[in-house]
Structure 1
Amino acid sequence: MIAGDENTIRNVKVFKQICDTKWSECISSKALRNLSEAKWNTPQLLPFTEDVKKMHQYLNIRRTECHTKLKEEPNKKHWAELAKITLCEVIIFNRRREGEVSKMSLNVFTLRDTSLTHPDVELALTDLEKKLCRHFQRIEIKGKRGRKVPILLTPDMMTSMDLLVNTRRNCEVLDENPFMFARPKALTHIRGSDVVQQIAQSCGAKQPEALSSTKLRKHMATMSKTLNLKDNEMDNLADFLGHDIRVHREYYRLPEGTLQLAKISKVLMAMERGQLSDFKGRNLDEINIDPQENVAVYSDASNSEDEDNTSVTDAASSAASSASLSSASLLSTKSSGMLLTWASQTTTRKWTEAEIKAVEKTLMEYISSGKVPGKAECLKCIETSPLALKDRRWEGVKFYVKNRIDALKRESMKRR
C-alpha cells in the first residue's frame, strides 16, 4: 500500500476471499474427518476403581505427613506440599475440572457460608441426609463460561485449608496473591493438572494416565447409569459436575462399544436364530439369549415328537470341543451340515410317561400357545420335577416342547 502497488493489493484481496470461501471445504472439513476417523477403533480409557482407591489412600497418608510437617516447621516447601495434596483431594473427590479448583480465590474460602441447614428444609431430609449436611461444607467457585460451580469439603480438607490460610505469611506467600492454592513468592497459582498427574504416578496405580480430572468426570457420569437415577436426580448430578445434560448426554450412558456388544448383539443373534418373535413385547434388558447355545436341528419325521434331540447337541458340542471350533462357527452354514451328519450317527431315546407328565405339568401352557420356552423356563421345569427329569438336559426339554408344538400344527393342517 505504501508503494502504491495496486496489482499486489488486488492479488492479496482475492487470495483472502478464496481462503474465506474455500478453507472449510478444502482444509478444516478434511482435518476434522481425519481426527474423527482416528478415534474409531481406539480403546476408551476409563479409570479402574482400584486405582481410584489407591489414589485416595495415598492422599490420606501424604496429607497427614504434610500437615504435621507444616505445623512443626512452617516454611514455603512444606506449605507448597500440603497445598498440592489438598488441591488434588478437592479435585478428585468433587470430580471437578482442575483449572476451576486451581483458580479458587482465597476470599471464596474465607467468606464461605457456614450457617446450618434451615429447620424447615430439614423436614424433607432423612436422618442420614441431615448428618451429611453437618459433615460437609459447601463453597461455590467460578467455573466454565462463568457458571457457578459447587464444591463439597470434608472435615480433613477443611483442616488442611484452614492451616494453609493461617500460615500463608510465615511461608512467604504474598498478600497480593489472590489464589487459595498460591505459589510461594509468586502471584500465580499451582497447576492442578500437574499435581494430579504427579500423584497418579506416585500412588502405584496400574493405569496412572487414566487418573485425570476429565476421565474421572466422564467415569462418574457413565457409572451413574448403574444407579437407576430419576430424570431430576440425573439433572442434579449433571449440574453438580458442571455439565449440561443436553450437551453431555453421551457421558451419562454406557460406552457405545459396550452397548453394541451387550445389547444390540442380542437382537442380531435372535434374528439369526429366527427367535425374535419369542421376545415380543420385551425391551433389550429383558431379552435373555445365550451365545453358547447351539442352533437346534429339528426333524420333520412324524415320530419326532417322541424323540429327545439332546444327543444332537451333545454330539455337536463334543465334536466342536475336540476340533477346537468356536461357537460362532457352529452357527455357519457349513457347521449346520456337520451337525446333521453327527445327528445321523447318534441314537435317540424315547420319552417315558413320567417324563412327559412332568413336562406337561409345567410347560403345557407353552405347548398350547405354540410358544417355545427359553432356557430359564426349561431349567425351572427340571427343578420342579427333579426325579422324573433327572436324566434330561434343558435343551432336551426345549426340543421336546418344540416337537410337540410342530405335531399339533401338523394335525391342525390335516384337519383343514
Structure 2
Amino acid sequence: MLPLLSSLSSLVLYLRRLQHSAFLSLSRQLQSAEAWRLLCHSSLALLILYNRRRECEVSKLSITEYRSRLTPQCPIPVPPGAPPALTPLEASLSPFERLVLPHLPRVGVQGKRGRVQPLILPPHCEPCLELLLETRQDVGVDPANPYVFARPYHSPATPLRGTDLLRSLARSSGTRNPRALTQTRVRRQVAILTQLLLLGEGEEPGQPGGSAVERLEHFLEREYHVTQNCAGIGQDPGLMGRVGRVVLCGERDGVLFRGMSLNHICLELDVMSGNSADSYSEGESDGEQAKEKTEAPALAPAPAPPPTPTLLYVRKGKNNGRVGRPKKLKNAQLAAQPPAQTPTGNRRRGSGQPKSGKRGVLKRPWSEAERTAVEEHLNQNIAELRVPAKADCERCLQQCPLLVTNHRDWRAIKFYCHNRIQLLKKNQRRENEPMPLIVC
C-alpha cells in the first residue's frame, strides 16, 4: 500500500494547491475563464478521489442535488442496545465514513438502476462549488446546463468527463505511477487513503463528536478492539497505510482479528492473502511440488509430472512438411505415460485425455516473520545444506507460536528448508561455474 499512498499523496497535494490558487484567482477576477476551469477541474478530481462512487456518477452531480445536500447534525441519542436510527442515505455509507466523517455534508446522486448513492463533500469543497455556481454565467456556461461541473461553450447536456480529467491531472502532477491511481479495482482503496490524508482538515474545534483523530481511535476500538494512538497519523505514512489496509480488509472480509495490534493484523493478512512476495521463487523447482502436496493433501491429489515432449519425425508428402494433426500428438504423449498414472474416473467421453489442472490447492507464501523464525532456529541445518529431520521441525514449532497460529506443520517447515538449500546449491554452482573463453 505504501507505493500507492506515496503517489496518491503527491496527487492530492498537487490538487489542493491548484484548487487554492484557482480559488484566490477567481475571487479577484470573477470573469477569468482559466481560473474557473482550473478550480472546476481540481474540485472534481478531489471529489472523485474522496468517494467510492464511479467517475460518471460524480461528474453528473446536478445543481439540484447539490442544493439539497444534507449536513449531519448531532446524533440522536438512542437507548442502549437499540440500533441507531439511520436515514437511507446514511445507511448506504460505510461504517468508517459514517463514524469518522460525520461532520462533512452528504449529497445524494443518481446511480445505477435509479439508486441514490451518497457522495461526501471533502473539506473546503463547499466554498469552491459555491464560487463556481456564482461565476458560471460570466465564463460562458450555458444557463440551461444542469450540472455543477459544466463545460463552457459546449452543449448543456455534456458535463466534464471525470475519467479523462483524473488521468490527465495524475500525469501532470508528476507522480511515479499515475496509471495505478485511475484503475477501477483500487477505487475503494484510494478513497479510504484520501479520506485519511485529508483527515481533520476544515474541522472546527469544540465539535460535539470530538476531533477526527479521536473518532478514528474510537472507530478502531469499536470495530476491531484495537487501541491505537493516531495523533501523528498525518506524519506517519506507515501508520496511515496500516489503518487503511485494516479498514479495507475489514469492510470486505469482515472482522477477522479482534484485540490484536495493527502490525499483527497486517502480518496475518499478509499470510492469509499471500501479498508478501516470495524472494526464493528461483529455487522452487523440485521442492515446490512436494510443498504443494503437503499444503493440501485432502483437497486435491498431486498431479502427475508433465511428460517429456516427444520428437515426431514426419516425412514430407501431401502435407508439404507440416506437422501431423494435434490428435496424433496427444495420443503419442498419452502412450508414453505409464498406465498406472492415467486416471480412469476423470476421462472425458469419447477421448482418452484426462482432465488437467489442480483444484483446491491453496498457496500461502511465507511472510518475513515466518522466514525469520524458521531460519533463526534451523540456521545450522541451512548453513550445512542438510535438510532437518522431523524432530528438528517439531522443536521449531514448539519454540515459534506464530507458525502454529498460521497453521504451519512440520512438513511445511521441512520443505521450506529444502527449497532454501536447493537455492543455495544453485547459487554455489553458478559461482563455481568457469567463465567461457572468448577466442578472438
TM-score range, shorter chain: 0.3 to 0.5
What TM-score does the superposition give when structure 2 sets the normalisation length? 0.45
What TM-score does the superposition give when structure 1 sets the normalisation length? 0.47
Which has more radius of gyration? 1
